[in-house]
Amino acid sequence: MKAAISQGRSATPATRRGLRPTTLVAIATLVVLAALPLFAKSYALTSYRDVLLLAVFALSLDIFWGRTGILSFGHATFFGLGAYGMAVVAIHFEIDPAWVSLAGLLFGVGLAAAVATLVGYFILYGGVRGAYFTIVTLALTLIAHHVAVGWSDVTGGDSGLIGVPPITLFGYAFIGSTESYYLALAVLTVALFGSMRLLHGRLGLVLAAIRDSETKARTLGYRTDRTLLLTFVASASLAALAGAVYAAGTGFVAPDFIALLLSTEVIIWVAVGGSGTLIGPVIGTAIVWKLQQEISSISIAAWPIALGSFFILLVLVFPQGLPAYLLKKVRALRSGKGAAP
């Protein structure tokens, strides 16, 4: 019994990076998602499409937060910039319908990348880390929200902008619910495997090193500021891509897309699924979305209370995220048993 346990322990380091298990879970998840339209009704499918895009958004936060350990409270800013960028280009400019989606995507993602570069440069090169980074990015979301509400000539103010056309790429319009669902799934698949490929390689190792000790990483010759900034900008760009495709799917944008509540929710999706795992946040998004449906159907007021309570638990009890917390409990339980004669 003892031997079996200690053997199980010594096997942990080899699989500790969790490359294989998470990759397998990712493939399994995507296969299930690909088969989903065969069983779901058309209306439900548009909801699922939105969940997939929110999952891309959660993934984008995980790329930064999960790998660097630095929490951004400003990711709704980038999601919102993507969505608003798409909407503004589509509604305020008269662009050939065949190209308007591409222009909107480029503008939205470019805008978010520019803001992330500018803000990220000053705070990351200025040595702002940890809780201070979180606070600065929180302020960023508040500012962005005020701009979205206040600059009504461009953003439509409180009511937002309606009439964002569906994504049209190279003459093909993703209008139907099935088509747009598969488009969202394609975005998720590419984003997921792209980030896995990058982060399971040397970059992931360097980011983990920076998370453990940035000073040490610097004395090894790494330009840690630059690595963190590039990761932040990549993460913001992916958030914007999710936002732009989301806006094209729903057909409108509203100040909710660029608000503190969304910044908070995305943190919870990542925390529920397990930060740093990439596939975890995707699953976390779906779980929380389902919970939201169930709890809101009992009482609309119950959801924000549940969300807030969970957030407090997150900070106080399991700052590493729910799966890491549960795993630790299970391990403690097992080693507790192992120690008993």
Partner 1 sequence: MTPADIPVLALDGVCRNFGALRAVKDVTESFQPGELNCIIGPNGAGKSTLLDLICGTLPVTSGSIAFGEEAIHGLPGDRIARLGIARKFQVPTVFESLSVLENLQVAAAPAASATELERILGTTHLLDDREVEASALPHGKKQWLEIGMALAMQPRVLLLDEPTAGLSVDETRDTAQFLSELRGSVTVIVIEHDMAFVRDLAARTLVLHLGEVIASGDFADIETNDLVRDVYLGRK
**Interface residue list for partner 1 (CB under 8 A):** 13-14, 16, 202, 205-206, 208-209, 211-213, 215-224
| In the complex, least distance from residue 123 CB atom to partner 1, rounded to whole angstroms | 17
* Nearest residue to 57 via CA among 240, 297, 304: 240
Compare residues 14 and 316 and give the one whose CB is closer to partner 1.
14
| In the complex, least distance from residue 202 CB atom to partner 1, rounded to whole angstroms | 6
Q: Which residues contact 216 (CB under 8 A, 6 or more apart)?
A: 209
CA atoms within 13 A on the CB side of 22: 24
| In the complex, least distance from residue 224 CB atom to partner 1, rounded to whole angstroms | 7
Compare residues 124 and 217 and give the one whose CB is closer to partner 1.
217
131 token code pair: 């809780």
79 token code pair: 């999601």
Q: Is 69 left (phi over 0), alpha (psi -120 to 50) or beta?
A: left
Compare residues 169 and 220 and give the one whose CB is closer to partner 1.
220
Compare residues 226 and 329 and give the one whose CB is closer to partner 1.
226
| In the complex, least distance from residue 231 CB atom to partner 1, rounded to whole angstroms | 16
Task: Please tell me the distance from the alpha carbon of residue 42 to that of residue 40, in angstroms, as a whole number.
Answer: 6
Alpha carbon of 340 to those of 1, 204, 331, 335: distances in Å?
Answer: 11, 39, 14, 9
| In the complex, least distance from residue 298 CB atom to partner 1, rounded to whole angstroms | 41
Inter-axis angle of helices 260-273 and 279-298, to 10 degrees?
Answer: 120
* Nearest residue to 117 via CA among 232, 222, 227: 232
Sequential DSSP letters for 271-282: HHH-TTSSHHHH
| In the complex, least distance from residue 339 CB atom to partner 1, rounded to whole angstroms | 17
Compare residues 154 and 209 and give the one whose CB is closer to partner 1.
209
| In the complex, least distance from residue 139 CB atom to partner 1, rounded to whole angstroms | 28
Q: Strands (DSSP E) along 152-212, which ranges?
A: 161-162, 168-169, 172-173
Task: Please tell me the distance from the alpha carbon of residue 234 to that of residue 219, in angstroms, as a whole number.
Answer: 25
